[in-house]
């Protein structure tokens, strides 16, 4: 197995992300490797593997690049003009099957644009979507879409449900996923014309004999974290706002409570808050997955830490080993 790692173009230090590469490669087998895409100056200052992983596990292959796409650049323009960038080279190698997956913490828009331009879409898919895992009271939730397709048609929301179901089967072993549609009310007639039509299509899709989804209806925002569904579908605009608002609110609440506990903490309460804070920390979860293209692409958080990058690399490895793409095709065929 060969997994590509794009170190460039994020808000994080490439050297810190490189440390994650060395940590993970020591856990791989001798036939596995991580392919690092970075500029020469980054590798000259950071490419010194710790002794603990130097002579065991997999190996790290180096692919020098001459440029990269920054967070501030226009995605489509950057992809077209910077063909020698780490992201474009990485996705081209994914297309050519020289790597089995690619992980990046760079520009999300550029990732989606590049994947759409360079990678074939899976059979029956019109546009890719971005899937992220969220914690709930019961288990992790697959939220689709969180930024891939801002303006959607009802059939796109149905495809999002199948993406999420395949992901949960691959990640958690869930055979038939419960699916909810994010909406402003639980009644089937609530929402936009698109969500009302999607409600009808999802209801029909879950009745097919071989369907791997069980549609349970609309889910309001206040119920997202109750854990009553395995997959939550929405458009990329709404999903992205939900994702980032959730991150911001959880960070605010935990920072406030832990600060207050300094005045008079109790051991049990402090421990409970620390555990809960870890559950809501995005660094504990694999990055977002680009669904619908012929390749496994994982988008790490733009401000990823070493731990966040490690989780994303491990997540990509798991998806390759569990044959995610085959499961998505099976899922689309069943619904």
Cα(241)–Cα(253) distance, integer angstroms: 18
Q: Of 103, 115, 231, 233, give the one whose Cα is nearest residue 167.
A: 231
Half-sphere exposure of 251 (CA within 13 A, CB side): 9
Question: What residues does each domain of the chain span?
Answer: 2-125+292-323, 131-282
Q: Stretch 270-299: mean pLDDT, rounded? A: 75
Which band of pLDDT confidence, cut at 50, 70 and 90, is reported for residue 98? very high
Q: Is the pLDDT of residue 53 over 50?
A: no
Element (DSSP H or E) covering residue 291 = strand 288-291
Residue whose token pair is 């689709």: 144
Q: Looking at residue 208, what DSSP letter applies?
A: S
Which residues are within 8 A (CB) of 319 and not within 5 positions of it... i.e. 6 or more apart? 101, 170, 171, 289, 296, 298
Q: Is the pLDDT of residue 9 over 70?
A: yes
Report the pLDDT value the prediction gives residue 84, as an integer from 0 to 100: 94
Q: What is the mean pLDDT of the chain?
A: 86
pLDDT in tens, 66-80: 999 999 999 999 999
Strand partners, 131: 144, 289
Report the pLDDT value the prediction gives residue 55, as an integer from 0 to 100: 43
Q: Is the pLDDT of residue 284 over 60?
A: no
Cα(217)–Cα(334) distance, integer angstroms: 20
% residues pLDDT > 90 (the chain): 48
Report the pLDDT value the prediction gives residue 287, as an integer from 0 to 100: 81
Do 131-282 and 2-125+292-323 have the same topology in CATH? yes
- Three-state DSSP at 18 gives helix
Under CATH, what is the fold of the domain 2-125+292-323? Isopropylmalate Dehydrogenase (3.40.718)
Q: Is the pLDDT of residue 47 over 70?
A: no
Under CATH, what is the fold of the domain 131-282? Isopropylmalate Dehydrogenase (3.40.718)
Half-sphere exposure of 48 (CA within 13 A, CB side): 3
Cα(43)–Cα(62) distance, integer angstroms: 9
Report the pLDDT value the prediction gives residue 171, as an integer from 0 to 100: 85
Distance from CA of residue 292 to its chain's centroid?
Answer: 13
Report the pLDDT value the prediction gives residue 179, as an integer from 0 to 100: 97
Under 8 Å between Cβ of 100 and 250: no
In the structure encoding, which two tokens stand for residue 142, read together?
Answer: 């697959």
What are phi and psi for residue 207, nearest 5 degrees?
-95, -10
Bridge-based pairing state of the strands 231-233 and 177-182? parallel
Element (DSSP H or E) covering residue 27 = none
Q: Is the pLDDT of residue 54 over 60?
A: no
- Residue 108, exposed/middle/buried by CB under 10 A (0-12, 13-18, 19+)? buried
Q: Is the pLDDT of residue 46 over 50?
A: yes
Q: Of 75, 143, 142, 84, give the one whose Cα is nearest residue 115.
A: 75
Comparison of pLDDT for 58 and 291, the residue scoring more: 291
Q: Of 101, 72, 51, 59, give the one whose Cα is nearest residue 9.
A: 72
């Amino acid at each position: 197995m060969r997994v590509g790692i794009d170190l460039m173009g994020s808000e994080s230090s490439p050297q810190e992300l490189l440390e994650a590469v060395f940590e993970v490669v020591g856990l791989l087998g001798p036939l596995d490797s991580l392919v690092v895409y970075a500029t020469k100056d980054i590798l000259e200052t950071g490419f010194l593997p710790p002794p603990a992983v130097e002579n065991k596990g997999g190996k790290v292959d180096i692919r020098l690049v001459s440029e990269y796409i920054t967070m501030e650049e226009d995605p489509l323009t950057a992809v077209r003009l910077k063909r020698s960038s780490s992201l474009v080279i990485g996705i081209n190698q994914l297309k050519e099957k020289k790597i089995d997956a690619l992980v990046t913490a760079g520009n999300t828009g550029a990732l989606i644009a590049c994947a759409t331009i360079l990678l074939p879409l899976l059979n029956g898919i019109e546009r890719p979507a971005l899937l992220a895992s969220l914690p709930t009271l019961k288990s992790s939730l697959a939220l689709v879409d969180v930024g891939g397709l801002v303006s959607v048609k009802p059939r796109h929301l149905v495809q999002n449900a199948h993406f999420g179901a395949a992901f949960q089967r691959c990640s958690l072993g869930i055979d038939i996923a419960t699916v909810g549609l994010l909406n402003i009310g639980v009644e089937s007639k609530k929402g936009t014309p698109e969500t009302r039509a999607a409600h009808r299509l999802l209801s029909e899709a879950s009745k097919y004999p071989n369907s791997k989804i069980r549609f349970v209806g609309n889910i309001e925002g206040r119920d997202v974290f109750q854990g009553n569904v395995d997959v939550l579908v929405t458009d990329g605009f709404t999903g992205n706002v939900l994702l980032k608002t959730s991150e911001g609110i959880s960070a605010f609440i935990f920072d406030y409570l832990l600060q207050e506990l300094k005045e008079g903490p109790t051991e049990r309460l402090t421990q409970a808050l620390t555990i809960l804070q870890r559950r809501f920390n995005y660094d504990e979860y694999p990055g977002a997955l680009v669904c619908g293209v012929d390749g496994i692409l994982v988008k790490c958080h733009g401000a990823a830490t070493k731990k966040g990058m490690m989780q994303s690399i491990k997540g990509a490895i798991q998806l390759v080993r569990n044959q995610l793409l085959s499961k998505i095709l099976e899922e689309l065929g069943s619904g």
